[in-house]
A and B are shown apart, each in its own frame.
Chain A
Amino acid sequence: MIRVIIPAPLRQHAGVKGELALKVNGPVTQRAVLDALEARYPMLRGSIRDHATQKRRAFIRFFACEEDLSHEAPDTPLPDAVADGTEPYMVVGAIAGG
């Protein structure tokens, strides 16, 4: 299972608490993890990635294994530690707004 952490407002919106565990079929990429997240929680569609372009929203970041993956290609495999469930994949609301 892939461990996923989403921001508190989205946990509230999806009606979940704490860390999520998602099953991802095939290669574990950012796209695959986010597809699995949105399939399980459809109300999150459009809140992390744009509905049409599937691009990351401006004030969302993706972290894992102490790395900022926000600018990585969506189909690049995630680190092994994420794929084997040792480390979480984190969807982060950027510190912004003054």
Chain B
Amino acid sequence: MSSVRVLVGTRKGAFILTSDGARKRWKIKGPHFPGWEMYHLKASPADPNRIYASQSSGWFGQQIQRSDDGGRKWKAVGNQFAYDGVPGTHQWYDGTPHPWEFKRVWHLEPSLTDPDTVLAGVEDAAMFRTTDGGATWTEMSGLRKHGSGPHWAPGAGGMCLHSIIVDPTNPNRVYIAISAAGAFRSDDGGASWKPINQGLRSEHIPDPTAEVGHCVHHIAMHASRPNTLFMQKHWDVMRSDNAGDKWTEVSGNLPTDFGFVVDVHAHEPETIYVVPITSDAHHWVMKGKLRVYRSRTGGNEWEALSKGLPQRNCYVNVLRDAMAVDSLDTCGIYFGTTGGQVYVSADEGDSWKAIARDLPAVLSVEVQTLP
């Protein structure tokens, strides 16, 4: 019988949650790396027992951990993320040039085919790659140097490259997103990049339709439709059907279109999920009610999903990498909150159950569907 393994990164350690395919009874292992910020853990699709983890600390900096046995034992691998050449400057909050400085790894994206190859999205925004299982990391500097870099500026959470999607049908096509620069695409394996932000409208920047400067919070794609992307922007839920060349808003009847996560059903490419958040000033769900919204039409028409979720006095957020889906026959949806809860729906979002209630604030959730 199939099983699932949920990798949870929190402000103070990592946790690994496992269940059989019924997804009713769970075992929780952890904390791994207690006390450290675990921004992201993700397993290799090519070798499910190979897991990479981003471990960081304001005191002790960045570490990368690797497990070869599904998360039981870990080994620290290379942690040197050196920008290629003289890194130059980006815009600081006050509009002045500010030197590029490495702070942490936000997102790890293992290759679809090679367990030793991983892309890493970092703050200050750049992308690195390892091809030796994490021992060494090399910047793919075509992104940072493509031309608009000096105009990028940090969002409130830092200038982070937080989303990486590799086209499963064309490994040369890679999408990334940066807060607060926008979305970018490479069609040559990461050597060169172009902004893909046409159609985005952000009222909080001087030119609301600028080529770069948009605070994209997350992007998602269904493997069967690599030209269709979904985006949760600072405000607005967007979609593109031409690989990001043009975006249209699909916020529709959402009660608020601010939020961080967006994800796609494993088997239905037009079924998508978001968690509306009250506003950028109030980073919590609306009216004290935790509700996931599902659209079965690729956006615009949304339904609230609340069965099993707290519907009073709930003031949590769901951060950008804290939602994932499994690929069991009935797709499971998972998300973690800043209040330390991890929720699962084993029925595509119709009903929810807390797997864990009192973890540290959840930064990321990934799920593996295991044979």
Contact = CB atoms under 8 A, between A and B. Distances in A.
Contacts of B36: 9
A13 B56 CA distance: 11
Interface in A76-98: 93-94, 96-97
Size bracket of the A interface: 10 to 19
Contacts of B33: 12
Given A9-B35, A51-B82, A52-B82, A57 B76 contact: no
Contacts of B130: none
Interface of A is mostly: loop
Interface string A48-77: 100110000101100000000000000000
- Best-buried of B35, B36, B61, B63 by chain A (most CB within 10 Å): B61
Contacts of B35: 9, 12
A43 B59 contact: no
A45 interface: yes
Contacts of A7: 59-60
Nearest to A49: B61
A97 B63 CA distance: 20
- Best-buried of B34, B58, B62 by chain A (most CB within 10 Å): B58
B141 interface: no
Contact of A45 (B57, B58, B79, B82): B79
B59 A13 contact: no
B300 interface: no
A45 B59 contact: no
B76 A43 contact: yes
B297 interface: no
Interface in B18-77: 33-36, 57-63, 76
B63 A9 contact: no
Contacts of A43: 63, 76
Given A13-B76, A51-B80, A46 B59 contact: no
A9 B61 contact: no
A57 B59 contact: yes
Contact of B59 (A12, A51, A52, A93): A93
Given A43-B76, A45-B79, A45-B80, A9 B58 contact: no
A17 B98 CA distance: 40
B59 A94 contact: yes
Nearest to A8: B35
Contacts of A60: 59-60
Contacts of B63: 13, 43, 46-47
Contacts of A20: none
B60 A9 contact: yes
A10 interface: yes
Interface string A29-57: 00000000000000101111001100001
A69 B59 CA distance: 18
Contact of A46 (B34, B58, B62): B62
A51 to B, nearest CB: 5
A57 B82 contact: no
Contacts of B80: 45-46, 51
- Best-buried of B34, B62, B76 by chain A (most CB within 10 Å): B76
Interface in B77-103: 79-80, 82
A96 B76 CA distance: 26
A9 B62 CA distance: 13
A57 B60 contact: yes
A42 to B, nearest CB: 8
Contacts of B62: 46
18 contacts: A9-B35, A9-B36, A9-B57, A9-B59, A10-B60, A12-B33, A12-B34, A12-B35, A13-B60, A13-B76, A45-B79, A45-B80, A46-B79, A51-B79, A52-B82, A57-B59, A60-B59, A60-B60
Given A13-B63, A52-B82, 20 more contacts: A7-B59, A9-B60, A10-B60, A12-B33, A12-B35, A13-B60, A13-B76, A43-B63, A45-B79, A46-B61, A46-B80, A47-B61, A48-B60, A51-B80, A51-B82, A57-B60, A59-B59, A60-B59, A93-B59, A96-B58
Nearest first, the 7 A-B pairs at minimum CB distance are: A43-B76, A47-B60, A59-B59, A93-B59, A51-B80, A46-B79, A47-B61
Interface of A: 7, 9-10, 12-13, 43, 45-48, 51-52, 57, 59-60, 93-94, 96-97
